[in-house]
Amino acid sequence: MSTPSHPASSSFAGWPGGKRAAVSLSFDDAAVSQLDYVVPILNRYGVRGTFYVTPGDGSIFVQHIDRWRQVHAAGHEIGNHTVLHPCSAKRPWITPDLALEGYTLQQIEAEIDDATRRLQELLPGYEPTTFAYPCGDTFVGDGEDRVSYIPSVARRFVAARGVGSSDNDPATCDLHNVSSWLVENVTAEQMIAMIQPTIEAGRWAIFCFHGVGGDHLRVEAEALEGLVRYLKEREDEIWTDTVYAIGKYVAQARTSPAAK
Ligand SMILES: [Zn+2]
C-alpha cells in the first residue's frame, strides 16, 4: 500500500552516524589486476570493497583462490555473479549456450544456488552476500516467455547490483536491482565529480569497475587510489562500505513498511 501524501524520502531513516551519503566500490569478474592493484589500495586506506566473482571449475577466480581467500579474510565482500556469467544474446561475446534468452527461471536459480555453494566451499566462514546481474541483464527467456529473474534474486539476497546511469535513492530504489555506474578510463577527478550530486542529495552511489591498472574496461590504479583517498578523507560525511553492508542497512532503515 502506498502513501502518496508523504514524500518518498520520509520512509528512510537516514544514514548512520550523521553521514550524508553512501558509496560502494564494486569490482567484477575476478580480474587479476584487482588482486594486484585494487586490494592493496583498499587495504592501505582501510576501505572495504565488493568483488563479484564467477566460481566455476577452472575459472580465473578458482585459479587464484589462495589470494581471494586473503581478500575475503581481510573483510571484503565476495559476491555472487553466477557460475557461467550468462547474459543477453545481444552481447557480442555471448555464445548461444550462455544466452539468457535460452534460460529458464529454474536454470538461473539453480546456477545462482550453485555459485553460493561453491563460494561456501571455497571460502572459509563464507556469509551471505549480495548478487550482481552479469552484464546487468535481469531477465530469462524470450518473447512471450520472457520474465524477470529479479524475484528469484530477491528471495535469496538482501540486495543485488545492476548496471545503470544513476545513483540510488535509499527510500525508493529497488534493492534487488540497485544501479551502478560502469566506469572505464576515468580519472579520480571525474569520479569525485560524479558523487557530488550523490552527497548533496543524500543518496547511495555504486561504482562498477572491471580491470584496474590492467585487464579489460580498464581504469588506472592512480585513478582508483585518488577516489579512495577522497572517500577516506571524507569518511565523516560519506559512508563507504560493501554493497552488502549498505544494502542491509537500507533494507532495515526504511521505516514505513506499509509504504513499500
Ligand atoms: Zn561480469
| Neighbouring residues of the ion ligand 1, judged by CB less than 5 Å | 28-29, 134
Q: How far is the CA of 208 from the centre of ligand 1 (A)?
A: 10
- Please report the DSSP string for 214-260 in residue order: SSSS-B-HHHHHHHHHHHHHTTTTEEE--HHHHHHHHHHHB--GGG-
Domain count, the chain: 1
- CATH number of the domain bearing residue 136: 3.20.20.370
Examine residue 3 and state whether it is found in any structural domain, yes or no. Answer: no
Examine residue 8 and state whether it is found in any structural domain, yes or no. Answer: no
Q: How far is the CA of 209 from the centre of ligand 1 (A)?
A: 10
Examine residue 11 and state whether it is found in any structural domain, yes or no. Answer: no
Q: How far is the CA of 202 from the centre of ligand 1 (A)?
A: 28
Examine residue 120 and state whether it is found in any structural domain, yes or no. Answer: yes
- E-assigned strands of 145-241? 147-148, 160-161, 181-182, 204-209, 238-240
Range of the domain at 165: 18-254
Q: How far is the CA of 90 from the centre of ligand 1 (A)?
A: 15
Query: C-alpha grid cell for residue 30?
Result: 575476478
pLDDT tens track of the chain, all 260 residues?
Answer: 444 444 444 589 999 999 999 999 999 999 999 999 999 999 999 999 999 999 999 999 999 999 999 999 999 999 999 999 999 999 999 999 999 999 999 999 999 999 999 999 999 999 889 999 999 999 999 999 999 999 999 999 999 999 999 999 999 999 999 999 999 999 999 999 999 999 999 999 999 999 999 888 999 999 999 999 999 999 999 999 999 999 999 999 997 554 44
Examine residue 7 and state whether it is found in any structural domain, yes or no. Answer: no
Examine residue 30 and state whether it is found in any structural domain, yes or no. Answer: yes
Tell me the one-letter amino acid at 19. Answer: K
Instruction: With CA atoms as reference, report the closest residue to 204 among 19, 51, 76, 34.
Output: 19
Q: How far is the CA of 93 from the centre of ligand 1 (A)?
A: 12
The reported pTM is: 0.94
CA atoms within 13 A on the CB side of 184: 8
Examine residue 4 and state whether it is found in any structural domain, yes or no. Answer: no
Q: How far is the CA of 11 from the centre of ligand 1 (A)?
A: 32
Examine residue 9 and state whether it is found in any structural domain, yes or no. Answer: no
